Amino acid sequence: MQLVIASGKGGVGKSTVTASLLYLLKDEYRFVAVDADADAPNLDLLLGVEHWEEERELVGAKVARINTESCIRCGICQERCPYDCIKVIDGDYVVSELTCEGCNVCGLVCPVPGTITLEEVRSGVVRKTTTRYGFPLISAQLDVGRPNSGKLVTEEKEWAKKLMGELGLKHMVVDSAAGIGCQVIASIGGADLTILVAEPTPASLSDVQRAYKVVQHFRQPAYLIINKADFNPGFMALREWAEAEGIPILGEIPYDRAIPRSMSMLKPFVEAFPDSKAADAMREIAERVREEILR
C-alpha cells in the first residue's frame, strides 16, 4: 500500500508527524519511507540520518544557453520567452539559469541556427539510506534554482518500488512536499490514500482544502490529522470542514514544547519524549492507522 502525507503547506508538522508515525509502526510493518519534498527535504534530519548509502545524480533539468558569438541581437528570444527569463546584460542576451524552465521556445524562434542550445544540467540528487530504525529512506535534494519537478518524485518512487521488490516490503510512505504543485501531484498520483495534516488556523485550512482538491482529483480516500489542535480554541472551521466532506479525523495532537525540542535533538518526538501529551496523541493516531488503514 502506498500512503501519502500531505498538508498543502509547510510548517504544519507534516514531517514531524510522519517521522513519529514511522517510528511507531516500524516494528510491525515493513515499509520504505520516501521524502518527496526535494526542495526542502527534512525527514532525514528528523530520523537522524548521517550518511547516504547510495546517491544518484539527476541530470533531468534543461536550460537554454545563448552563444554570444553568433547571436545577432535581434531580441526575438527575449520577446517570446514565456517566463521572462532572458535579460540583456552589457548588450548580450543572457538566459537566467535560475529561472529558465527549459521549454526551448527561444531556441525555436532564434533565426540563427545553433545559437541557442538546450543543455542538460544537474537538477539534484536522489539518495538512499537505511535509517537507524531499520527501514530504508529514499530522499532527494533539488539543486538551488532548478525547476521543481514531479519527475524527481517519480524517480524517487521508482527507486522505492524497486526496494520494495528486493526487500519484500509491503508499504510505501511518502512525505509529500508543501503546496499543490507538480511534486505534490506526483506524490499523490498513484497512491492509495492520503493523510492530510493541518492546524486549526484559517491559513492552514485554506491550504489543506487545496491539497484535498488534488486528492479528490485522483479519487483517493483522505484522512485528517489535526496538529497543534489546542492552539486556536474556538476555531471550529477545520473540524467542520472535515465533517462536511466526510474526511475521518485520525486524531488531534496538542501543541507541545516537546515537539520543537525533539526536532532540535533530531529524533521523532515519540522517541525523544514518550511521556509527552503529544506522544500520547500520536500513539492513538498510530493505533487508528493500524486498525483503519493498514488492515
Could you tell me the smallest distance in angstroms from the CB atom of residue 197 to another protein?
A: 11
Could you tell me the smallest distance in angstroms from the CB atom of residue 283 to another protein?
A: 23
Could you tell me the smallest distance in angstroms from the CB atom of residue 210 to another protein?
A: 5
- Asked if 35 and 159 count as a contact pair (C-beta separation under 8 A), the reply is no
- Which C-beta is closer to another protein: that of 72 or that of 98? 98
Could you tell me the smallest distance in angstroms from the CB atom of residue 23 to another protein?
A: 17
| DSSP single-letter state for residue 292 | I
Nearest to 153 by CA among 112, 129, 131, 181: 181
- Which C-beta is closer to another protein: that of 52 or that of 235? 235
Could you tell me the smallest distance in angstroms from the CB atom of residue 88 to another protein?
A: 14
Q: Give the residue ranges of DSSP H helices in 87-149.
A: 105-109
Could you tell me the smallest distance in angstroms from the CB atom of residue 49 to another protein?
A: 12
Q: How far apart are the C-alpha atoms of 195 and 138, rounded to whole Å?
A: 19
- Asked if 268 and 276 count as a contact pair (C-beta separation under 8 A), the reply is no
Task: Determine how β-strand 171-175 pairs with β-strand 193-198.
Answer: unpaired
Could you tell me the smallest distance in angstroms from the CB atom of residue 121 to another protein?
A: 11
Question: How long is the chain?
Answer: 295
- Which C-beta is closer to another protein: that of 117 or that of 232? 232
- Which C-beta is closer to another protein: that of 2 or that of 187? 187
Q: How far apart are the C-alpha atoms of 138 and 163, rounded to whole Å?
A: 10
Q: How far apart are the C-alpha atoms of 294 and 286, rounded to whole Å?
A: 10
Q: Which residues contact 168 (CB under 8 A, 6 or more apart)?
A: 30
Nearest to 8 by CA among 149, 139, 137, 187: 187
- Asked if 6 and 223 count as a contact pair (C-beta separation under 8 A), the reply is no
**Which residues contact another protein by CB under 8 A?**
8-12, 15, 39-40, 42, 45-46, 62, 82-84, 96, 98-105, 108-109, 118, 142, 144-148, 150, 178-182, 184-185, 201-203, 206-207, 210, 213-214, 217, 231-232, 235, 260, 263-264, 266
- Which C-beta is closer to another protein: that of 164 or that of 179? 179
- Which C-beta is closer to another protein: that of 6 or that of 138? 6
- Which C-beta is closer to another protein: that of 171 or that of 212? 212
